[in-house]
């Protein structure tokens, strides 16, 4: 049985993925959450009761906890075959209204945490010349929009880490790839997140930020109500990627039921083609 470590498994895509993989009875699943005590008894009991699922606490922003959990998994199962970097946090607000400390805090969860997990699992994956890392990015890793510049920047950074390292790692038998969801009705947007923390700066914009936020929230709500995007589509994409043969998995895997799959795929393919064209221009 392959061993899978899923971060952020207490809600959203991570929880759905844990449930669906458990039903297949083909994996040892380590479902990690920041704090088991914060899950609520019902969710904790549900996840802990799933077949082949071990519930574990993991603060992905902690070097010590990441090293500890990966060492324990390797000791118990001898391998970590698949890592799903799903844990993340949303943000919002004017760029100027974010303190540098707040930006660093958001990047610690959305950028340094997946990198931290990659670095923790890669030595064992390289040794066995086998491994799959799936990173949950976003369509906002392609486009940056007002009031979300800091969050988008974190996803841009994740995209850069993964796309730049793909050719390095595939030669070591490891696939490091992306899944880029559009807007889906998950708990991500309902949580407090890591948002602009300088209210005096926001006030200096004389209500503009509030007006833009209200307009954007209404627009996204209407789009979700109209298109009814299903989070199971994202989980289905992840499972499809897990099932594919090594070397056949696309690097970028957008899933956007609001913009449309044809559009989302074109964005990913066009970016890849432009990157190849630039590399060719420099003689690579």
151 catalytic? Reply is: yes
φ/ψ of 268, rounded to 5, equals: -65, -45
Buried b (16+ CB within 10 A) or exposed e, 102-111: bbebbbbbbb
As assigned by CATH, the class of the 2-281 domain is alpha beta
Cβ neighbors of 73 (< 8 A, separation 6 or more) are 3, 5, 30, 80
Query: pLDDT (tens digit, 9 = 90+) per residue, 164-207?
Result: 999 999 999 999 999 999 999 887 666 668 999 999 999 999 99
What integer best gives the mean pLDDT of the chain? Answer: 95
What angle (nearest 5°) sits at the alpha carbon of residue 81, between those of residues 75 and 85? 105
pLDDT on residue 188: 65
pLDDT on residue 175: 98
Enter the pTM of the model.
Answer: 0.95
Give residue for tokens 């040794």.
127
pLDDT on residue 39: 85
Query: pLDDT (tens digit, 9 = 90+) per residue, 120-145?
Result: 999 999 999 999 999 999 999 999 99
Question: Given 151, 215, 221, 282, which residue is catalytic?
Answer: 151
At 129 the three-state DSSP class reads coil
Furthest CA-CA distance within the chain: 58
């Amino acid at each position: 049985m392959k061993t899978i470590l899923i971060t952020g498994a207490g809600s959203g895509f991570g929880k759905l993925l844990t449930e669906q993989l458990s039903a297949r009875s083909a994996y040892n699943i380590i479902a990690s959450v920041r704090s088991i005590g914060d899950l609520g008894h019902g969710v904790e009991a549900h996840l802990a009761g799933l077949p082949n699922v071990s519930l574990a606490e993991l603060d992905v922003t902690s070097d010590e906890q990441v090293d500890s959990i990966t060492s324990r998994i390797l000791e118990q199962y001898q391998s970590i075959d698949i890592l799903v970097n799903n844990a993340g946090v949303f943000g919002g607000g004017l760029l100027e209204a974010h303190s540098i400390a707040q930006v660093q805090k958001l990047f610690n969860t959305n950028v340094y945490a997946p990198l931290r997990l990659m670095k923790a699992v890669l030595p064992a994956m390289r040794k066995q010349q086998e491994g799959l890392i799936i990173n949950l990015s976003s369509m906002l890793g392609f486009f940056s929009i007002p009031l979300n510049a800091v969050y988008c920047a974190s996803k841009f950074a994740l995209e850069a880490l993964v796309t730049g390292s793909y050719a390095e790692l595939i030669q070591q038998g490891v696939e490091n790839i992306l899944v880029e969801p559009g807007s889906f009705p998950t708990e991500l947007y309902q949580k407090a997140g890591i948002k602009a923390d300088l209210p005096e700066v926001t006030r200096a914009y004389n209500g503009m930020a509030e007006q833009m936020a209200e307009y954007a929230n209404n627009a996204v709500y209407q789009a979700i109500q109209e298109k009814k995007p299903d989070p199971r589509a994202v989980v289905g994409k992840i499972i499809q990627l897990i099932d594919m043969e090594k070397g056949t998995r696309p690097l970028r895997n957008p899933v956007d039921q609001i913009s449309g799959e044809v559009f989302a795929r074109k964005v990913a393919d066009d970016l890849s083609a432009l990157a190849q064209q630039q590399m060719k221009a420099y003689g690579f």
